[in-house]
Structure 1
């Protein structure tokens, strides 16, 4: 399903780029608008191609009129912000999907976040590095719904997983890996209790958290 979405978005992005750059899409010849045609016998705009052709009652045949095509209307492409906005959104979406495809593992989507795992068990530093190389970061649930999404992956592999949370300079005070304070927690009873000796955080198979040393092997779960 992801593969289909990826190639569909790629095709749309390519089409938009072509239309925006060259101002021509399927059905448009790319030729400039035909300027006003010379007058002939008092009739403006009658093409020389119609000369010598007559209709059923001897009247000159005129080429059929056509309505303006969508890309011939509105603002010039350079002034229209909508194609640029669409491309920015598509590029962002493609980047996230590419990261997920690199991991080639289980995924869950919650709101704007995508959680995925490659099923590998490594230490904290290696897990973080693999997520960042794929264009994401370690899974960092910031609300109950996101915690449940990560938990579903943990249950799928039946393995504890590192989260993108570490202990700060003050023992017992944890923060996100971007140094922002926690706005949501799911600590197991009496945790954290490492008192400065357990700097990382793992998720149990029931969704609760525990502070743990960073050199153990835990499931890699990333977010994009």
Structure 2
């Protein structure tokens, strides 16, 4: 047991038992340690959230997001091959329409666009640019009809599909996966 006595004329007389203060100091240290641990946990969570947000990809400027894909509708016009080449330069490809939601999204543009559909490999067998078959289609009435060697797919007003000669000049829609 330690006792402190002061006998200087400037200091009031003190008779303090330091062991009486020990529980109070221990409690304060415990509280400060607890506060520090909570703050460290918050900082760790904030750093993890920041890293997660940095990793979240967004569409490039000028592209539109739908589900997990980004879409670019060109203002330039070109042949189907020119369109595909431009999309590839953008690390994308001509749009592949897999869902009704995607079809509605394209339809809302209400314009003729090249899409990633053709029967160039085998006449009458329409496939997407990735080689997959057409499983959901939105052909305009009477299409595809191959009138005059039409081997490339386009949207027409209100989004229905039409087969068209690949050397016609149209704007196009590129698609890229957000997470690729």
Query: Shared fold by TM > 0.5?
Result: yes
After superposition, the Cα gap between the structure-2 partners of 1:128 and 1:170, relative to the gap in structure 1 and judged at 3 Å, is: closer
Residue among 126, 130, 136 paired with 2:82: 126
Structure-1 residue corresponding to 2:140: 188
Whole-Å separation in 1 of the counterparts to 2:106 and 2:43:
49
Deviations 1:186-223 (A, max 9, x none): 11111111179222111101211111111111112112
Shift of 1:151: 1.5
| Higher RCO (C-alpha 8 Å, min separation 6) | 2
Shift of 1:87: 7.8
Mapped contact 1:172–1:196 kept (Cα < 8 A): no
Shift of 1:138: 1.1
Residue among 132, 135, 138 paired with 2:94: 138
Deviations 1:68-102 (A, max 9, x none): 222898xxxxxxxx89x948952xx24xx23xx2x
Residue among 157, 161, 170 paired with 1:218: 170
Mapped contact 2:93–2:129 kept (Cα < 8 A): no
How many residue pairs match? The answer is 148
**Secondary structure in 2 matching 1:194:** coil
After superposition, the Cα gap between the structure-2 partners of 1:72 and 1:122, relative to the gap in structure 1 and judged at 3 Å, is: closer
Larger Rg: 2
Mapped contact 1:165–1:175 kept (Cα < 8 A): yes
Tell me whether 1:173 sits opposite 2:173 in the alignment. no
Whole-Å separation in 1 of the counterparts to 2:52 and 2:108:
33
**Secondary structure in 2 matching 1:121:** coil
Greater alpha carbon shift after TM alignment, 179-188 vs 133-142 = 133-142
Whole-Å separation in 2 of the counterparts to 1:124 and 1:222:
12
Unaligned runs of 5+ in 1: 1-40, 42-56, 74-81
